[in-house]
Chain A
Amino acid sequence: MHFANIIRTGCISVFLLLSAQAHAQIFSITKGKVDFRSDAPLELITASSKDLKGKIDVEKRQFAFSVKMNSFMGFNSPLQREHFNENYVESDVFPDASFAGKIIEEVNLAADGTYEIRAKGKFTIHGVTQDRIIKSTVVVKNGMIRLDAAFTVLLADHNIPVPKVVHEKLASEIKVNVTAELKQ
């Protein structure tokens, strides 16, 4: 079976698992955005996607997020976007990037407040999974969770090769920003 499919199935199963629980503790993303930025000496590339999907189980402190790679827009040219999808992340083979796991801190996200939390989980892009701890700021107010996170992705960690010819145009370390709003 195609590896990408396994991941997709995996993510979906997590979602289903979460959904199967009592509804009260599961928050789902109503609005979500992922931005990334490649800052190379000769070129700056930015792109973003509004296609972020995900859920947080506030009782179990577990979460699962995913985004479709081909939903990213904003590159410096359509050709660049095409290269991104076909050559780099190979979105036809690995359609999703996902992050699923557990929140380390013993916080109650159902209660209003501002929390600095760390999420420990498995981060998958281009079919390669890495254990990651990602810090994020969570503001809970009136039943809405607002989440902000910033982290870096090393292309080498996920088997995304950068050919020598584009070394100056593509950063090996990509800065990613995630913002999301979740509701029950």
Chain B
Amino acid sequence: MKAIALIALRLTILSLIVFAFSPSKLSAQFSPSFAFVIEEEQMNPYIHVVYQKKDGYLLCGTTNGIYTFDGNRFSKIPFEDAQASDTVTALFEDKNLTLWAGFKSGRMAQVRAGKVVYWKPEEGTPKQPVVSITQNKDGVLFFSAPGEGVYYYQQNRMYLIDESDGLSDLQTGTLVVTEGGDILAATDNGLNRITLRNGAVRVEVIGPKQGLPDYMVTSIAPAGDDTYWIGLQEKGFCLFNNKTSEITVPSSTLNWTYGQVNSVLHFQEVLWLGTESHGLIRYQPETQSLDSFELKDRVDGVQFLMSDDQHNLWLATTRARLIRTTGEKIRILPLPEYTDYEHIHALLRSRDGALWTTDPQNRLLRIRFNPKGNAIEKVTIKELTPKTDITCLYQDPGGLIWIGTMGRGVFLMHPQSLTYRPVRELSTLNDGSILSITGTGNRIYISSLQGCVAAETDTLDASVEKPVRAVPWNLSGLGTNYVYSIYDDRNGSIWFATDGDGLIRNQQGKYFRIDQSKGLTDSRIYSITADKNNHIWFSTARAGVYRYDGTSLTHIELKQGLRSLNISGLKTDRLGNLVIIHEKGLDVLNAQTMKFNYFDQGHGVEGVNVQDLGCISQDANGNVYTLGLNGIIKYNPVSGITTPKTIIDSVMLFQNRITSAQGHIFNHDENSFTFAFTGLYYAAPDAVMYQYRLDGLDTSWTTTSDRLKSFTLFRPGKYTFRVRSSLNRQFHLSDEAVYTFEIRQAFYKTPWFIGCCIVLLAAALYMFVRLREQRIKRMELLKQAQQVSKFEVMKNQVNPHFLFNSFNTLISAIEENPAVAVDYAEHLSDFFRNIVAYRDKDVITLQEELDLVKNYYFLQQKRYGDALRLTIDIADELKTQVYVAPMTLQLLLENAIKHNAVLSEQPLQITIRTVGGSYLCVENNMIHRSSKERGEGMGLQNIINRYQILSNQPVRVEDNGSTFRVSVPFIKLSHD
């Protein structure tokens, strides 16, 4: 459903005609307003209550439920039960940001997950309408149900405060929390102050006995400092001081004619009263003035008043309209006699409160304001023709009005008596064309096409005839260009806005120029003012505004947030802000923060006259006046900057709204998101522009005026959606709304999973390799151990046996033949020396072995003589190339002797030769032996074992009955 904005900013011809019939009366000032109506098929819902949530959204409680308003559209918050329909009479957001609603039926509900859900406490809900809900400091909720009293809900229990507890009347209305945490309740029988301490309820009644002018209290509004405005049924209003319990009745209310007050509101330092049949009333505490406050829209009855945090005043009227108005901020005074304002070049608000301007015949108009109706007087200056434009108006400290004209010089007029005279004392200006008149103290500065003039006058003299003296002025440093305006900064300098020579400063007679050399891009200066820090601000013809702090220039133009470069002038308001007036409206710049507040169409400021510098005025309170499409615009400064509030309304995943319960972490296949966002700015919702950026995908901001953005994300990771809104595209000055979320990596893609796999794989590989290595090593070790032990064993086996025999031979030789015995012993020692030498070797050369064998044979021959015959048949080369295991051949020889009979009749022939090119053999003829020697078989086995380790080829033993042959393989390389 759309809201129809009943914006009618152009005065119709019809209304002009109406007003033309009463030329001496003027329509009253009004504040621009904009009306909205909720459109529904059956009947437009009637708005009972307006409430602003903490996030900035406006809520309307209506006969058809709760609606959210964003400045443009109303959208209904659905009931949990879609069929339900209930009239909302109260709205409240508690400390936990839960929205409560009270209904005419007495029921109550909360808004949960975007739906209105009825609340059903054990004790039941009222049967009378719930008209007000509030909460005290301790979190206790209070509800007002006229007819039953005031309920409170504490620790899951509902309690009722009624007459038995001291309540003065069961017809209770608005509830307001005081600064101390008590509750003020409006009733038909006075004001009740309810205190809740330690579960005990105490009710104090403040009624006529305590000074209350009326019994029936209709409304209450905090006014600050623990004081409260009390709206009454018949007697208007009064002020209640909660600290002292005193009631102050303003004198203006003594003859109250505005009827029943429905709602009170303290806003813009003024008390606003919404009445049942007299519209909106305004009371200004400072001046104690009470008047009817007109809006653009005619308002007869006001049901409810509210202000938002963007300086707008909202009314719910008795005719189902929601109206937004600027309140005090912007006031329009129409000049209905005239269809256009082209003839108006000058404007002045004089200190007595009158407004001065001109009519198409160049008569001076004085408008005096009166609550009963404004009075307008026309003054003709006879020296002027209808073609002589009045270009500027100035009121000096004495009160006299200075009038500048085009071609007729300067006039001086008394504001009350309206007597006047031409100023002839300044000869250059006689019949001159005046551009501007300003002044300070007793000085008057006048710029004209004839040049600039400074004059002096007695400020205390308020007579028109008072003399005006020209002040000699050295203006040689000023150049030849026209001066549009002159500004005395009261700090020793006079500044000149020139047409082409930039800004010229006259400091104690010395002239300084601020022009292109300082960075100025447009040397045509129109208007000058100063801020609270005494920095000079000035506007140029086409380049915007500059600030000069004494040394350098700061440029304010579109990039800094200025809305238009077509500027008519500047003023400084009483809060120190710069009011920049241009064709689109007013841009109010906070000189400290450099942030703007904009007042334009959405505030009723339109069609500003930018042709005439004289069309800007400022009164003693700092209000700024200028001329717009609808009449004279009065701007009343407000503090605080209003920028659109950026809110992310909802985040949707695949068309389904994400609830807070779902959290912010999503699976890899949940990747389609839609963001809905709003920049709340009630004065101009359509002017809001947005910028968004999805961190994790975008690197730069995208500007849009859409309020929805969708993304489909394929990459997992952390994302942050940022959005900000602005009225002037200066997004870097705006706040952001963010939504951070994460899309998880697909399970099988996560690093830890892959990592695990890799680690497992690596581990497996590693284990495999290591095991193999270990096995190899083990086998190696085994082999080595085997080898070592075998060798040891073998070595032990060889030696004792032979020794035994040798000694036997030696013993027998010693007796027989000592010389032979010595020889024998020598050979024996040689033999053993060799054995010792070869003992630690794995292999020895064939040559060495043969030497050993020969030695051994010599020894044996001594024993056996000719019965033993040895033949060695080996090629010489082989003797050094081939290796054998030590004592192999010797052992074989020994064996041959051992196992065969050695008799001279049958000699034992042993032959050592090569066989097959790779074997050495020891063969002998076999002679049976009767006795067997000990240790049989072990020597040969020994050799076989040794050669198993030393060579791949086996030792061959051949026994054919007559010849016994043992063959051992060559060992060519050393074995390790």
Interface residues of A (CB under 8 A from B): 102, 104-106, 116, 118, 120, 131-135, 151-152
CB neighbors of A among B156-186 (8 A):
157-160, 162, 164
Of all chain B residues, which has the CB nearest A133? Answer: B123
Of all chain A residues, which has the CB nearest B120? Answer: A135
Residues of B within 8 A of A152 (CB): 122
Interface residues of B (CB under 8 A from A): 122-124, 126-127, 147-148, 157-160, 162, 164
Of all chain B residues, which has the CB nearest A101? Answer: B164
Contact A133 B127 (CB under 8 A): no
Q: How far is the CA of A151 from the CA of B164 in the complex (A)?
A: 23
Q: How far is the CA of A120 from the CA of B165 in the complex (A)?
A: 11
Of all chain A residues, which has the CB nearest B160? Answer: A120
Given A131-B159, A133-B159, A133-B160, A104 and B148 touching (CB < 8 A)?
yes
Task: Given contact pairs A104-B127, A133-B124, A135-B123, enumerate 17 new A-B contacts (beta carbons under 8 Å).
Answer: A102-B162, A104-B126, A104-B148, A104-B160, A104-B162, A105-B127, A106-B147, A116-B124, A118-B123, A118-B124, A131-B159, A131-B160, A132-B123, A133-B123, A135-B122, A151-B122, A152-B122
Given A118-B124, A135-B122, A135-B123, A102 and B158 touching (CB < 8 A)?
no
Chain A binding site: helix, strand, loop or mixed by DSSP? strand
Q: What's the nearest-Cβ distance from chain A to residue B150, in Å?
A: 12
Q: How far is the CA of A132 from the CA of B124 in the complex (A)?
A: 12
Which of A105, A116, A133 interacts with B158 by CB under 8 Å?
Answer: A133
Query: Could you write out 13 A-B pairs with CB less than 8 Å apart?
Result: A102-B164, A104-B162, A118-B124, A131-B159, A131-B160, A133-B123, A133-B160, A134-B123, A135-B122, A135-B123, A135-B124, A151-B122, A151-B123
Q: How far is the CA of A76 from the CA of B124 in the complex (A)?
A: 33
Contact B162 A120 (CB under 8 A): yes
Q: What's the nearest-Cβ distance from chain A to residue B602, in Å?
A: 48
Residues of A within 8 A of B147 (CB): 106
Name, among A118, A120, A135, A152, the residue most crowded by chain B CB atoms within 10 Å (CB to CB): A120
Of all chain B residues, which has the CB nearest A105? Answer: B127
Chain B binding site: helix, strand, loop or mixed by DSSP? loop
Q: How far is the CA of A134 from the CA of B147 in the complex (A)?
A: 18
Residues of A within 8 A of B126 (CB): 104
Q: What's the nearest-Cβ distance from chain A to residue B140, in Å?
A: 14
Of all chain A residues, which has the CB nearest B106? Answer: A105
Closest 8 CB pairs of A and B: A135-B124, A133-B123, A120-B160, A118-B124, A105-B127, A131-B159, A104-B148, A133-B158
Of all chain A residues, which has the CB nearest B149? Answer: A104
Q: What's the nearest-Cβ distance from chain A to residue B329, in Å?
A: 46
Q: What's the nearest-Cβ distance from chain A to residue B584, in Å?
A: 59
Q: How far is the CA of A105 from the CA of B147 in the complex (A)?
A: 9
Q: What's the nearest-Cβ distance from chain A to residue B788, in Å?
A: 77
Q: How far is the CA of A146 from the CA of B126 in the complex (A)?
A: 22
Q: How far is the CA of A82 from the CA of B158 in the complex (A)?
A: 34
Residues of B within 8 A of A135 (CB): 122-124
Residues of A within 8 A of B164 (CB): 102
Q: What's the nearest-Cβ distance from chain B to residue A103, in Å?
A: 11
Of all chain B residues, which has the CB nearest A152? Answer: B122
Q: How far is the CA of A134 from the CA of B127 in the complex (A)?
A: 14
Q: How far is the CA of A116 from the CA of B107 in the complex (A)?
A: 13
Q: What's the nearest-Cβ distance from chain B to residue A116, in Å?
A: 7
Residues of A within 8 A of B123 (CB): 118, 132-135, 151
Q: How far is the CA of A133 from the CA of B152 in the complex (A)?
A: 11
Residues of B within 8 A of A102 (CB): 162, 164
Q: How far is the CA of A131 from the CA of B147 in the complex (A)?
A: 19
Q: How far is the CA of A102 from the CA of B124 in the complex (A)?
A: 15
Q: How far is the CA of A142 from the CA of B159 in the complex (A)?
A: 33
Q: What's the nearest-Cβ distance from chain A to residue B165, in Å?
A: 9
Name, among A102, A106, A135, the residue most crowded by chain B CB atoms within 10 Å (CB to CB): A135
Name, among A104, A106, A134, A151, the residue most crowded by chain B CB atoms within 10 Å (CB to CB): A104
Q: What's the nearest-Cβ distance from chain A to residue B766, in Å?
A: 55
Residues of A within 8 A of B157 (CB): 132
Q: What's the nearest-Cβ distance from chain A to residue B804, in Å?
A: 98
Residues of B within 8 A of A132 (CB): 123, 157
Residues of B within 8 A of A104 (CB): 126-127, 148, 160, 162
Q: How far is the CA of A104 from the CA of B159 in the complex (A)?
A: 12
Residues of A within 8 A of B148 (CB): 104
Q: What's the nearest-Cβ distance from chain A to residue B230, in Å?
A: 27
Q: What's the nearest-Cβ distance from chain B to residue A117, in Å?
A: 9
Residues of B within 8 A of A133 (CB): 123-124, 158-160
Q: What's the nearest-Cβ distance from chain A to residue B733, in Å?
A: 53
Q: How far is the CA of A147 from the CA of B576 in the complex (A)?
A: 71
Q: How far is the CA of A104 from the CA of B162 in the complex (A)?
A: 9
Q: How far is the CA of A105 from the CA of B126 in the complex (A)?
A: 9
Q: How far is the CA of A170 from the CA of B126 in the complex (A)?
A: 33
Residues of A within 8 A of B122 (CB): 135, 151-152
Residues of B within 8 A of A131 (CB): 159-160
